[in-house]
Structure 1
Amino acid sequence: MTERSPATKKTDSMSATWSTTTIADAEAAVADVYGLDGAVKRLSSERDETFLFTRADGTDFVLKIANPAEDPAALEFQDGALLHLAAAAPAVPVPRLVPTKGGEPSHTLSTADGPRIMRLLTFLRGELQYRTPASEAQSHNVGRSLAELGLGLEDYNGRPPAGKLMWDISHTLDLAAVVDHVAPERRAQVEAVLGEFERSLPAITGLRRWQIIHNDFNPHNILLDPAAPTDVVGIIDFGDMVHAPLINDLAVAVSYHLATDNWAARTRAFLEGFLSARTLEPGEIELLPLLARSRLAMSIIIAEWRSARFPENRDYIMRNHVTAWQGLQNISDLTPAGLKTLVPNFPRPESCRW
């Protein structure tokens, strides 16, 4: 997405406002652009308008109408990734784009707020991970799914549009511009992470493996089989993809396993799952604790900054704040050596390519 850091842009796609699309207008747009009749139901979303569209025959789809500040190139980048995965890694469970009547992956609506891009995607049926009981078996399978997704994206040659994504760990230091929004009792610790990141920047930028990564592999974006809540059946929300070090994707995902009393066991299971499909290089392992701390610090800074700016949306913005802070406490002194004790024998993975 084109969400830029506060240091480089004052108005971004997360800050933009727009006129609400009525249910009747959404249904009419689907009928006109896709030739499909059905009913629309609004879903919660922060940066666009998202709806559940149920076709007349009962088949569900997800309808997304981008906000007018969205960069069309960013959505083309996302569409390219989904099309690439459909061809290169069909076993990876991601949404499929539904073509318009003209065979296009999206359509631009003319609205009072300006052009807005509409897309229709297949609906993946499953339970969001955060609503299911956590277990080590689940963490293992989620870790493997991330590795498989990364392998599917490894050869995707699309590039995100110019600009910095606020949620890109590579640009953690940009958040120093708004760190004063963090409450005093938390500020010193997040500032310490920013300092650690700055000292390690040469090693981070020198990592060998860079590729397109999902960059938001969290329990709100992972669907599990309700009958077997250890089995991943869907991966959604490709709006935060970036070209970045591969290990950043793992750091993002690991950060959501760190807020419980059994975080060490869950993290071990997650890493073992990832490593069952893909290796990690020594330099990546060395940086993983810092990058996970950086992601957690980012979550705290961005949430406190944005909730102050948009108090009406505070509940949504702050939904991960408590767990991010707890996770940061749990790994505040985790070293690379300590991480290696969690998974002492990094296994050679089986081939996992399509």
Structure 2
Amino acid sequence: MADAEEQRRKVQKPNVSIEEVRSFVEERFGLSVNEVEELNSYDDRNFLIVSRDGGEKYTCKVHNGVDSENVEFLYAQNRMMRHLLSMGTSCPQPMCTVAGEELTWLKQVIPEKGRKVHAVRLLTYIEGKVLGNTNEFHLLEEVGKLVGTVDRALQDFVDNALDRDFLWDLKNTDKLRSFLGAVHEEWKHAIAASAIENFERKVKPHHNNLRCSPIHNDINDQNIIVDAKHEKVLGVVDFGDIVNTWLVNDIAICLCYFMMEKHDPLQALCAVFRGYCKVTPLLDIELYLLPSLIRCRLACTGIMSAYSYQKDPTNKYLLLTAEPGWKALHYMSQIQDAEITDLLAEVQNSMEENRGGD
């Protein structure tokens, strides 16, 4: 089911113009719109909205056809964002239409495709800059602290709408085999297949020993907002991948992005992980499997970027992390998992010793 839905997302991405979005937002949300700018997105269409009244900014999300069919999941995103804000983490908040609804519908009639209906949400906008690739180690530690804080806050958040079969959930790594054919370069195909085999051999036998929790599932360098001077982490955006799954997946996903394009990837991993385990320490079994799960996400990113680009060669955003991700996966394939586990365990142990001495 997860792989079938992923394929449907590619053909049910919204086809909407900037002018349509402008008119729709003005009509449904009662805003006087000054500017509309399209933002990067994967399966949805995201637009920055700037109002005429005071220049307030918002993000308009026009959802793909698959997610538009799952209304409870969209409401669950809103509920999670409200929960995190109540716990002190800055993130977008849902705005209501003039009718008082958090969700509305864009209906289109497209020649040869018939009638299409897409869910639309308007979210508050966090002022600042996207973090992007950084070598500033004080920020890397702050990134880890952000992920740990989010994970800790979500451990008492319960929402059944997050119990879903989702390809980007690392639990489903073995389902990536269906998409491996999109990876044509032999060396990439080999290391991606190896990551899947490692998951099946090493991770799956321990699935009952891992803590489960709702997680963000995509805290990467493009979803973290920092201040204009790149001195402080302000918040997190893009809750479209949230899911109930293994808790350790959240930091595994974050680590894989922050080791990309680094002179010393292991040093970067340690910096992020140091911030994380200050807030949310991992169990021994989670530490043991963490390197394998990092490789799973790197493989998933590479495989699905290849598949998605094959379906839509005009979407250059799909390749944003593809090549750095392949290089990071190759780097990981040259190192024994035990070496990485020992390094991260040493970081966590030093944090625990420091706490004990306080």
TM-score strictly above 0.5 = yes
Structure-1 residue corresponding to 2:243: 242
Asked whether 1:321 is paired with 2:317, we answer: no
Residue pair 2:84, 2:90 contacting (<8 A) in 1 also: no
Deviation at 1:337, TM superposition (A): 4.5
The residue type equivalent to 2:43 in the other structure is: R
- Structure 2 match to 1:334: 336
Q: Give 1:294 deviation, angstroms.
A: 0.8
Q: Which position in structure 1 is the counterpart of 2:29?
A: 34
**Correspondence 1:253-332 to 2 at 5 A:** 253-259=254-260, 260-313=262-315, 315-332=316-333
Match of 1:86 in 2: 85
1:52 aligns to what? Answer: 48
Instruction: Give per-residue Cα distances to partners, 1:175-220, cap 9 Å, x unaligned.
Output: 1112122121221121111111111244441234111111111101
Equivalent position SS for 1:322 = helix
Q: How does 1:114-263 map to 2 (within 5 A)?
A: 114-130=116-132, 133-160=134-161, 163-182=164-183, 183-227=185-229, 229-259=230-260, 260-263=262-265
Residue of structure 1 equivalent to 2:112 = none
Query: Which ranges of structure 1 fall in alignment gaps of 5 or more residues?
Result: none
Q: Confirm or deny: 8 A CA contact 1:207 1:245 kept in the other structure.
A: no
CA contact (8 A) 1:288 1:336 kept: no
Calculate the aligned-residue CA RMSD, in Å: 2.1
1:141 Cα offset (Å):
0.3
Q: Deviations over 1:304-351 (max 9, x none)?
A: 2222222222x211111111112112222232343322451252397x
Moved over 4 A (4+): none
State the TM-score, normalized to the length of structure 2: 0.88
Residue 221 of structure 2 aligns to a residue whose secondary structure is: coil
User: Does the 8 Å contact 1:98/1:120 carry over to 2?
Assistant: yes
109-118 or 274-283, larger mean C-alpha shift: 109-118
Counterpart CA distance in 2 for 1:19 and 1:342 is 45
Tell me: CA distance 1:255–1:10, structure 2 relative to 1, closer, same or farther (3 Å).
Answer: closer
Give the helix-richer structure, 1 or 2: 2
Displacement of 1:92:
0.5
Identity of aligned residues (%): 23
1:136 positional shift: 1.3
Aligned position for 2:95: 98
Shift of 1:26: 2.4
* C-alpha separation in 2, matches of 1:164 and 1:242: 9
User: Residue 8 of structure 2: SS of its match in structure 1?
Assistant: coil
Matching of residue 111 in structure 1 with residue 112 in structure 2? no
Q: For the residues of structure 1 that align with 2:101 and 2:85, how far apart are their CA atoms?
A: 16
Aligned partners of 1:258, 1:84: CA distance in 2, in Å? 30
Cα offset, 1:164, TM superposition: 2.4
Q: Quote the Cα distance in structure 1 between the aligned partners of 2:172 and 2:10.
A: 17
One-letter identity of the residue aligned with 1:301? I
Deviation readout 1:39-96 (Å, 9 max, x if unpaired): 2413132322221111222111111122334232321221121122233x1x201011
SS state at 2:139 partner: helix
Distance 1:5 1:184 in 2: 26
Between 73-82 and 119-128, report the one with greater CA deviation: 73-82
TM-score, structure 1 as length reference:
0.89
Deviation readout 1:248-300 (Å, 9 max, x if unpaired): 01110000122312211111111110011111111100000000011111111
Could you tell me how far apart the structure 2 residues matched to 1:272 and 1:39 are? 43
Query: Is 2:199–2:292's contact at 8 Å kept on the other side of the alignment?
Result: yes
Distance 1:190 1:110 in 2: 40
User: What is the rounded CA distance, in whole Å, between the counterparts of 1:10 and 1:201 in structure 2?
Assistant: 23
Counterparts in 2 of 1:220 and 1:346: CA distance versus 1, 3 Å: same
Contact residue 216 and residue 243 of structure 2 kept, 8 A: yes
Matched residue of 2:10: which SS? coil
The 8 Å contact of residues 218 and 254 in structure 2, kept in 1 or not, is answered as yes
Amino acid at match of 2:299: A
Q: Amino acid of the residue matched to residue 153 of structure 1?
A: L
Structure 2, gaps ≥5 residues long: 110-114
Task: Go from structure 1 to structure 2 and tell me whether the alpha carbon gap of 1:202 and 1:62 turns closer, same or farther (over 3 Å shift).
Answer: closer
